[in-house]
Structure formats: structure tokens, C-alpha cells
Amino acid sequence: MQYVSTRGFADLGTFTDVLLSGLAPDGGLAMPLRIPTFNQPELERLRLLSYPELAYEVMRPFICDIPEADLRRLLEDTYRPEVFGSADITPLTPLGQSGLSLLELSNGPSLAFKDMAMQFLGHAFEYVLEKRDQRVNILGATSGDTGSAAEYAMRGKQRVNVFMLSPRGRMSRFQQAQMYSLDEPNIFNIAVEGVFDDCQDLVKGVNADAEFKARYDIGAVNSINWGRVLAQAVYYFKGYFALGLPQGAEADFCVPSGNFGNVFAGYLAKMMGLPIGQLIVASNENSVLHEFFGSGIYHVWPADRVAVTSSPSMDIGKASNFERFLYLMAGSDPAQTAEWWAEVAAGRPVDLRGTAHWDAVGTSGFRAGRSTHADRLATIRRVDAEFGRLIDPHTADGVLVGARFRREGVPMVCLETALPAKFGETVQEAVGRMPQRPAQFEGIEDLPRHCEVLPNDAEALKHFIAEKLDRQD
């Protein structure tokens, strides 16, 4: 399988090439030349596979440059019960007789769904870099959970350094402590004076400096990394099969989403033949995606419009993976995609109303809803009272919006995004008690912090990276 850029660069290489490279040279995102599909008999064959076996079948068509035995071993090393808490890896839990179920994705090392892909990336990076005798310096941005998942997956890796940007003061206390308490020689935490979108723009700005990127071997693990999207598609298959539906019966999925990577993985699964009906995007007060699916207009929000909310991992005004979706809505036309993103770069909206592209969005199965602070508190409280289950505020956004779009007789699977322990203050506000946390995280907020504060400035960031890496040499 060869990969191309959403904006036209025609030869990004194979999976292991795009795994290490981050953004394409033209600023676009990696996409496969084609998306393989499963027919119904093939899907039935996948139904009873273990998680590592299922991951192999789903991912293998996109990964032709890792030998079969090696890929199977990487997946078996990744998806282990001792890492994710059970042999199911992603258990499906019905919420009583409501027709809603929670797909549990947050039982990994950092207590967030990002572990599902990031643990694979950790093993895959190590494998590829060893084979190529290379090093990579990962530059990433996080609104809360990607950072800790990446750092827990990459710590101790001899050929990998991680430079992780986060918006100063905009994550929960637990999220900050989980990242900043790590004292590892290959982990560098950077708190940026700005919002998540500023961090994301800094990552793209450094990647756009081809000479700096090549000199310092800059790579990416953000949701722009195709490896993450591909690994996340697997749990849609696993969640669907766990419902035990008759062959070909549809299920709907609701996904809390800010950067569009998690829900785009669901769309990839749907394009591969999984019988997904609706894909519901649940937004918080920062409702860029909700606005688009309701109006046909995609307008990036400026930093000063992005609100600080109680589901902070979705406090995003620019959804990076949305470019992949619009690329597909354009019939995989890179020229059209590049034209749209030139408008985005100029601060102008992309208006699809009245076009064939908007018609394609209409038939894609996507719907969208939004939630507020009061909504998520009420939902946390209700789910606790009715089903004896504590959920985090992002998952609450998903449960609330999923219930709005539930169709009679069609299961609605709501993706759990984090354990409530990561957002204890909001959960306590909702139900009057702090959620339990795993023993290894007790007192984490009191540990020493290892973090540098930098201005929202690409040159300052490049100077910081160069200084750290030159010192290692």
C-alpha cells in the first residue's frame, strides 16, 4: 500500500515511511491510495477473533512493508491483558435497557483512549527505527490526553525523544501532573503560552521548516499520524462485534471529538465495510464541528474564541483530521482539498452548501450535537444514579448527544474517552464525591514537575529543541 498527501504530494512511500514522517512535504496529511473493504462473509470470519488477531486483519491491508510474523508480534506485544486490564482489551458495557452502551477505551497506562493507538505506535516506532538504524524526535501537541499517552508509550525508548507541547493552565490538574511528573531523559514537556490550537500550529510550523525537520529528524504522534488513525479503527470492529448483531445489521456510534481523529477512524471502519449507520460527533461549547455538520460551513475559530470548558481535551477550534474527511468528500481530489485549506489558512470559511461535496457529507452518516457544562454535570449525575457508573465529562458529552440521536431498534455505542479520575474536580461537582483512581496515581499532583514554559513562537521552540538535541550529541 502506497500513501499520498491530501494536498497532492504523490509519493509519501509505504506505512513505515508515513509512520515516521508526520506532515507531508506540502503540509497535507497521509492517506492510502485506496481503502480495502471486507464483504459480509469476511466480516463474519473476524467476529470471534482476539483483539490482536482482529487488529492484524484490519490493519494488515495498509501495512505491507512489515513482515507478517513481525506485525503479529508487534500487535500481540501491544494488546495484552496486563496492559489493558482484560482479555477483551475494549469491553462493551450496556447502560441498562437504555439502548446505549459504553465502549471502554480507557483502561490503558494513561487512562485515556489515546493509549489504544499510542501503545502500538511505541512498539512500531521502536521496531522500525531499529530496522533502519535511525532515531526520531517526536514533536506533538496535546489538549490533555495525547501527551501522557505518548509519553507513557515512548518513555525509555532508546531511539526516540518526545517534545510535547501543551496549553499552559488549560488541562486538568491530574492531566498536568500525569505528564509533568515524568522524569525521563527522553521526555521534554513544554507549556505554551496559548491554547491548544497554538500548540498545534507550532507543530505544523516546525514541520514546515524542511531543513530543520530533516536536520533534527522531526516526527509526529498526534492524530495527524496515520498509524494512530488506523489503530483506532480496530476498536470500532471490536465494539460492533461485541453487540452480537445479526449479519449486516447496523449500529450507530457516538464519539466525543475535538480534533476529529477518533471519529474519523470510525468512518474508516465504515468505509472498510463495517455496518455503521450514524457516526455522531459530540462537541462541547467549542462547537466548530457541530456548526459544520449543521450548516455546511467550516470556519476555524480564533484562539480568543476557544472557551475553557470542563471537557478540556475538546477545547479545540481547528480540527486537524477534518482535512482527511473533506479529502474523501471531494472524491480524493487533492487539488480541491488544497484549495479549501488555502482558504482555511487565510482565515476564510469553507462553504460547501449547494455543492456535490455537501451532498456527499449528507450521505456519509455523520451527525453532530453539542453539550454544555450543565449538560455534562447532569449526565454524569444521571448515569451514576441510574446505572451505577461514573463517567468522565467528555464521555458524558458523548452519552448525552448519543441519546439524542438514538434510533429505535439500533444500538448506540458511546465511546468512553477517559476514566473519571482524570477529571476528578468536575466529577465531584456532579456527584459530590471524588472518583477512585488507580493506586499508582495516588498523590501524583504532589510530585515534582518537569516542564519548560515557552512563548507561542516557532523560533523559540526550534531553539529549545536544537539546544536539547545538540547537547545529547
| Residues labelled catalytic | 114
Percentage helix, strand, coil, to 5, in the chain? Answer: 50, 15, 40
Q: Do residues 306 and 316 lie in contact, with contact meaning Cβ atoms separated by under 8 Å?
A: yes
| Neighbouring C-alpha atoms within 13 Å toward the C-beta of 168 | 11
Q: Do residues 137 and 111 lie in contact, with contact meaning Cβ atoms separated by under 8 Å?
A: no
Among residues 206, 211, 110, 137, which one has the least CA distance to residue 454?
A: 206
Residue 293, CA distances (Å) to 47, 144, 259, 283, 360 in order: 32, 25, 15, 11, 12
Contacts of residue 459, Cβ cutoff 8 Å, sequence gap at least 6: none
Largest CA distance in the chain: 62
169 Rama class: left (phi>0) / alpha (psi -120 to 50) / beta: left
* Rounded-to-integer distance, Cα 402 and Cα 457, Å: 39
Helix (H) or strand (E) holding 1, with range, is none
Q: What is the full DSSP assignment across 206-274? A: HHH-HHHHHHTTEE--STTSHHHHHHHHHHHHHHHHHTTPPTT--EEEEEE-SSSHHHHHHHHHHHTT-
* Rounded-to-integer distance, Cα 402 and Cα 251, Å: 12
* Rounded-to-integer distance, Cα 239 and Cα 270, Å: 13
The angle at the Cα of 40, spanning 39 to 44, to the nearest 5 degrees, equals: 120
- For residue 201, give the DSSP letter: H
- For residue 434, give the DSSP letter: P
- Spell out the alpha helix ranges (H) of 332-392: 334-345, 356-362, 373-387
